[in-house]
Amino acid sequence: MRKWHRWLSVFFGIFIFFIATTGVLSQWAVLWPVPEPTAAELAAQTPPPGFECPEGWRCSPPRTETGPRSLVGFFHHLHSGEEFGPAGTAISVLSGLALMFFALSGVWIYVRMWLDRRRRDAKDRWFWK
Which residues, in sequence order, are CB contacts of 102 under 8 Å at separation 6+?
5, 8, 9, 12, 16
Does the predicted TM-score (pTM) go above 0.85?
no
Q: How far apart are CA 61 and CA 4, in angstroms?
A: 54
- Determine contact, residues 77/17, Cβ cutoff 8 Å: no
Number of Cβ atoms within 10 Å of the Cβ of 99: 15
Alpha helices, DSSP H, located in the chain: 2-31, 39-44, 72-80, 85-119
Question: Is 80 within 8 Å of 93 (Cβ atoms)?
Answer: no
Q: What is the pLDDT of residues 67-104, one digit of tens each?
A: 787 888 888 888 888 889 999 999 989 998 998 998 89
Q: Tell me the pLDDT tens digit for each residue of 9-35.
A: 878 888 888 888 888 888 888 787 777
- How many other C-beta atoms are found inside a 10 Å radius of the C-beta of residue 29? 19
